[in-house]
Amino acid sequence: MLGSQQRYFTLLENLSINRTSPLYRGFFDPEVQRIIQFDQRGCGKSTPFGSIEENTTWDLVEDIEKLRIHFGIDKWHVVFGAESHPERVSHLVLRGVFLSRKQENDFIYKNGTGLLFPEEFNNLKQLMKNRRTYCTVIFEMTASKLLPSDILQIHQKIFSKLFLWLFWKLRYLDNICFLRNENQLIEDINKIKHIPTIIVQGIYDALCPVKSAWELSTLLDPCELVIVPDSGHSCTELGTIDGLVKATNKFKKRI
């Protein structure tokens, strides 16, 4: 295997949950790009592990800004979002667009994803009160890929990390991701609309529907929306991996 094919293999072999991983480094070319990852608060090697104290969107944004200053970086290429410090961002690559609005949250938990996965959604509703995190793990993992994996075969250690991840996610959703209101990302779009952006979106994404990615792409200029015809939500599906690698390679040529 040569070039990107080798990187695809590396990405799939090093899949991990809830921390920095070779999976994510594999989207970039280490011979050209300086790759910086960090474990957000409560994750991976960040201590105390699992803590939610002072763990909000804005705490994470400032952690990232401190890293930029620490490494002496003037501007950097950001994958998966930036609006607070647009003057420090040279390019953006986005995937599985979720704009933190009620309509998107409702799509997942009320009137969208359940139409595609009715049995899992019915189980979700029945178990939500007493075992919310557990049933949400099953529901979202089932819905995250075009061809779902066998949930029951997941190793217990990995599954426990998924519990923790969903606990954080639900906390963020319950607080509108700590934004001032559900439309903040759209209201502040002028801050980033001039930044060259590529959005990679699986057309069968049952958690973050393509409509949000399309809507965002119409508000950004320049922006390229790449619709992956054989992928759902997960960044580990081959079509999405291909799209992300091509996106980072395209911006690599501009550095």
Determine contact, residues 141/234, Cβ cutoff 8 Å: no
As a whole number, mean pLDDT of residues 212-227 equals 96
Residue 13: pLDDT band (50, 70, 90) is very low
pLDDT of residue 32: 87
As a whole number, mean pLDDT of residues 90-114 equals 91
pLDDT of residue 171: 80
Mean pLDDT (the chain) is 82
pTM: 0.81
SS (H, E, C) the chain: CCCHHHHHHHHHHCCCCCCCCHHHHCCCCCCCCCCCCCCCCCCCCCCCCCCCCCCCHHHHHHHHHHHHHHCCCCCEEEECCCCCCHHHEEEEEEECCCCCCHHHHHHHHHHCHHHHCHHHHHHHHHHCCCCHHHHHHHHHHHHCCCCCCCHHHCCHHHHHHHHHHHHHHHHHHHCHHHCCCCCHHHHCHHHCCCCCEEEEEECCCCCCCHHHHHHHHHHCCCEEEEEECCCCCCCCCHHHHHHHHHHHHHHHCCC
Listed by start position, the domains of the chain span 103-176
pLDDT of residue 1: 38
pLDDT of residue 5: 45
What long-range pairs does 222-226 form, CB within 8 A, spacing at least 24?
222/196, 222/197, 223/196, 223/197, 223/198, 223/199, 224/197, 224/198, 224/199, 225/199, 225/201, 226/198, 226/199, 226/200, 226/201
Q: Answer yes or no: is pLDDT of 254 > 80.
A: no
Higher pLDDT, 252 or 7: 252
pLDDT digits (tens, 9 = 90+) for 147-167: 866 544 554 455 555 556 666
Q: CA separation (Å) from 91 to 56, 60, 95, 100?
A: 24, 20, 14, 22
